[in-house]
Amino acid sequence: MTRPVVIEKIGSVLLLRMQAPPVNALGAQLRKDLQEAVAAAAADPAITSLVVTGQGKLFSAGADIAEFEAGMAKPELPEVLDTIERSRLPVVAAINGSALGGGLELALVCDYRFAARRAKFGLPEVSLGIIPGAGGTQRLPRLIDAEAAIAMTTSGKPVSASEAEAFGLVDRVFDSGDEAVAAAVAHAAALGTARRTARTAPPPALPDSTDFVAQQRLAITRQAKGRDAPLKALESVLNAYALPLDEGLAREAAIFAECNSSLQAKALQHVFFAERQVAQVRGMDAAVTAHTVAGVAVIGAGTMGSGIATACLQAGLKVTLIDVNPGSLAKGAQAIARIIEGNVAKGRIDAGAAAATLQRLELGDSLSAAASADLVIEAVVENMAVKQKVFAELDRIAKPGAILATNTSTLNVDLIANATARPHDVIGLHFFSPAHVMRLLEIVRGAKTSDQAVKTALDLSRRIGKVGVVVGVCYGFVGNRMLEPYARDAHRLLLEGASPSQLDTVLTRFGMAMGVLSMCDMAGNDVGASMRRENRAAIAHDPSYCRMGDVLDARGEFGQKAGLGFYAYAGRDKSERLDLVDLIAAEADQLGIVRREIGDEEIFERCLYSLVNEGCRILEEGIAQRPGDIDTIWCNGYGFPALLGGPMHWAEAHGLQHIHDRLAHWRAALGTYGEAWFSPAASLTELARNRGRLVDLFPSD
């Protein structure tokens, strides 16, 4: 077995190369080897100095996050870094690639930092609900100015090598990792045994402004959006200015431990691993490779089609945007140009890059323009007959082996696939609007979809910067299927007496990015109504089903785009509609629903527990592979707060038994409506009875 630290003696310099694929995480064996190598070098009179570097793309991604739940094995990272810092020999960090978290903290205890230009430097711990716990909050302020140190520690955002050089975090920047290593070795040799500075030197003073700290605290609180870790990180950084190093380090360790045992940290760390586990798809032939995708054709130049085309163009792909309606095609092309040029205005790309991106776009006014594409993504109207017609035609036009994808958000992918003679090449790629922004991509595997098509879709999602989650075929797949009971009950609660703003406030107070009725207005009440028309058979038994959504649709009150919906809009500003109360009351009257005062707790339980209940059914049916896949979908596509870990993680922390019992309560309390919609899922009932955990029924692997 290869050791995680490879040691090479170059003259009097000992080169320590971390080699722990894929990201050189500082796991137990690596820490032990590093500590032993440094200690042995100090005892060896033939060694004058050391260089630490990494193998591969990264210097190090930091501590091994998988260790956090059970606690870090000995030697813990702070202890290893302390050994390096107190060594009698100088150490040069040759930062071949990104240095994140504990990886950056390792670089900070070195005397000099030489970096490759591609390297990024960051302390992303706050996004895991923790603070840097191996000296980052104490040593970074001793090296760079307070504002930059606070920003790096509390935002988690990495900086580039040139920014790091400008801050004084890095001594020299090189074009490649190899050059950085060679220069570091030469520098270490020239140093002899001379160390650089006293480790305990105090940091420069905080900016001379009485309200500097107050301003920082305010800005961080705003950006934290309910997360505790950023303010804890600030508290720890401020200790660096008030306490001697060793005392500051001890406080940092205590704050780290406090954060790491919090529910937020558990939720955010769950989200981190869940997002990565989605790429592991059960039942896939590991030997299958992805189809090469150089050119993509997108059919339909509406909002979704142009957004998908933009996402692909921005990732460097060649795109043909196709629409048989010349007006729609021109509008779609303009929308794409606006987004790309907007990126120039925002300083994200330069004008040359924007021109090159737009040059990769071709327009076509008939499906035949898709003939040479490796991947075709259909984004036409959400109607089965129309989609089947498009796929039957594509079957004749597309080249053999091309992957044919539908961007349906609810429809049966198998029925669409069966319109072709090559259903194995057909797959669902459900993008979320705006498609060039939203991170989620549901990859819908049909009954006959080949492993190669799935692999290609997973590769594409990564390439275009999205998190692709493989799901099975059912109405609405995972995301929209769960949205259905959540939104359905919100609509029903309106008829029973809640107001749109009461409903939405309960949900946003819980942490949802947006209330469900605001979301309906944003997506368009016409879109919701048209989806219901396609699914009429399943909902016909409930005349109250999303009644207000249908009423608004019939009145042309489609939401934001119409200026009226569940709210009234002036641009993006929304206000309550007083006239809606009478409209809702009249509908309730017709349906024989007695209106009453609805408490916030009832809204909370009925909407959110219905969401969880549907999640359980989806797991029972194998539509989602594991609870973490559902969490990934809801955190990335539906604004569920990551600091609660996603609906399934949250449900477990909140109490599965309680959720089951309250669903049973509402089933009994809400008459025929309750009986129709509130039966607890079989798996939830079983888990409630046995006081079990989701993993008991739905193992992660």
290: number of Cβ within 10 Å: 18
12: number of Cβ within 10 Å: 17
Is residue 23 at the binding interface for ligand 3H9, with CB under 6 A as the rule?
Answer: yes
Is residue 65 at the binding interface for ligand 3H9, with CB under 6 A as the rule?
Answer: yes
Is residue 101 at the binding interface for ligand 3H9, with CB under 6 A as the rule?
Answer: yes
Distance separating alpha carbons of residues 6 and 350, to the nearest angstrom:
41
> By the 8 A CB rule, do 53 and 133 touch?
no
SS (H, E, C) 411-458: CCHHHHHCCCCCHHHEEEEEECCCCCCCCEEEEECCCCCCHHHHHHHH
Is residue 157 at the binding interface for ligand 3H9, with CB under 6 A as the rule?
Answer: no
Cβ-based nearer residue to ligand 3H9, 64 or 378 = 64
Is residue 66 at the binding interface for ligand 3H9, with CB under 6 A as the rule?
Answer: yes
Q: State the minimum distance, in angstroms, from the CB of residue 102 to ligand 3H9.
A: 3
The catalytically annotated residue of 49, 409, 544, 613 is: 409
CA distances for 694 relative to 614, 646, 657, 687, 698, angstroms: 14, 13, 12, 7, 6
Distance separating alpha carbons of residues 51 and 39, to the nearest angstrom:
14
Is residue 429 at the binding interface for ligand 3H9, with CB under 6 A as the rule?
Answer: no
Binding mask 252-271 for ligand 3H9 (x = CB under 6 A): --------------------
The catalytically annotated residue of 430, 491, 649, 660 is: 430
Q: Which of 77, 493, 523, 580 binds ligand 3H9 (CB under 6 A)?
A: 77
Is residue 102 at the binding interface for ligand 3H9, with CB under 6 A as the rule?
Answer: yes
Stretch that binds ligand 3H9, among 62-70, 391-399, 438-446, 578-586 (CB under 6 A): 62-70
Is residue 89 at the binding interface for ligand 3H9, with CB under 6 A as the rule?
Answer: no
Distance separating alpha carbons of residues 453 and 402, to the nearest angstrom:
9
Residue, CB closest to ligand 3H9 = 101
Strand order in the sheet with 98-100: 58-60, 98-100, 120-122, 159-160
- Pick the closest to residue 430 from 444, 418, 417 (CA basis): 444
The identity of residue 157, as a single letter, is K
In 250-366, DSSP assigns E strands to: 295-299, 318-322, 361-364
**Cα 479–Cα 483–Cα 485 angle in degrees, nearest 5:** 135
Is residue 62 at the binding interface for ligand 3H9, with CB under 6 A as the rule?
Answer: yes
Q: Is 162 part of the annotated catalytic residue set?
A: no
Is residue 647 at the binding interface for ligand 3H9, with CB under 6 A as the rule?
Answer: no
Is residue 276 at the binding interface for ligand 3H9, with CB under 6 A as the rule?
Answer: yes
Q: State the minimum distance, in angstroms, from the CB of residue 151 to ligand 3H9.
A: 17
Could you check whether the bond before residue 434 is cis, i.e. omega within 30 degrees of 0? yes
Q: Which of 33, 105, 521, 605 binds ligand 3H9 (CB under 6 A)?
A: 105
Which positions from 511 through 570 interact with ligand 3H9, judged by CB under 6 A?
none
The three-class DSSP label of residue 381 is: coil
Is residue 628 at the binding interface for ligand 3H9, with CB under 6 A as the rule?
Answer: no
Distance separating alpha carbons of residues 252 and 136, to the nearest angstrom:
9
Stretch that binds ligand 3H9, among 132-140, 334-342, 416-424, 519-527 (CB under 6 A): 132-140
Is residue 97 at the binding interface for ligand 3H9, with CB under 6 A as the rule?
Answer: no
Cβ-based nearer residue to ligand 3H9, 25 or 339 = 25
**226-250 CB burial, b ≥16 within 10 A, e <16:** ebbbbbbbbbbbbbbbebebeebbe
Structure tokens at 310: 């933009």
Q: Is 430 part of the annotated catalytic residue set?
A: yes
The three-class DSSP label of residue 690 is: helix
Cβ-based nearer residue to ligand 3H9, 13 or 38 = 38
- Pick the closest to residue 114 from 159, 18, 158, 180 (CA basis): 180
> By the 8 A CB rule, do 378 and 425 touch?
no
Which positions from 574 through 593 interact with ligand 3H9, judged by CB under 6 A?
none
The residues, any chain, with a CB within 8 Å of residue 140's CB and separated by 6 or more, are 104, 108, 123, 132, 149, 152, 153, 169, 237
Stretch that binds ligand 3H9, among 96-104, 212-220, 365-373, 595-603 (CB under 6 A): 96-104
The catalytically annotated residue of 96, 239, 450, 480 is: 480
- Pick the closest to residue 398 from 428, 429, 377, 381 (CA basis): 377
Cβ-based nearer residue to ligand 3H9, 128 or 159 = 128
Strand 112-116 versus strand 98-100 pairing type: unpaired
Type and span of the H or E element at 217:
helix 212-224
Which positions from 455 through 514 interact with ligand 3H9, judged by CB under 6 A?
none
Q: Tell me, by CB under 6 A, how many residues bind ligand 3H9.
A: 23
Q: State the minimum distance, in angstroms, from the CB of residue 54 to ligand 3H9.
A: 11
Cβ-based nearer residue to ligand 3H9, 157 or 596 = 157
Cβ-based nearer residue to ligand 3H9, 252 or 323 = 252
Q: Which of 33, 64, 602, 629 binds ligand 3H9 (CB under 6 A)?
A: 64
Q: State the minimum distance, in angstroms, from the CB of residue 97 to ligand 3H9.
A: 9
Q: Is 98 part of the annotated catalytic residue set?
A: no
Distance separating alpha carbons of residues 74 and 654, to the nearest angstrom:
33
CA distances for 501 relative to 455, 553, 638, angstroms: 43, 19, 19
Structure tokens at 670: 């809400």
Q: Is 442 part of the annotated catalytic residue set?
A: yes
Stretch that binds ligand 3H9, among 85-93, 99-107, 390-398, 411-419 (CB under 6 A): 99-107
Is residue 602 at the binding interface for ligand 3H9, with CB under 6 A as the rule?
Answer: no
Q: Which of 34, 92, 128, 181 binds ligand 3H9 (CB under 6 A)?
A: 128
Is residue 86 at the binding interface for ligand 3H9, with CB under 6 A as the rule?
Answer: no
Q: Would you name the residues annotated as active-site residues?
A: 409, 430, 442, 480
Which residues make up the interface to ligand 3H9 (CB under 6 A)?
22-23, 25, 58, 61-66, 77, 100-102, 105, 124-125, 128, 132-134, 136, 276
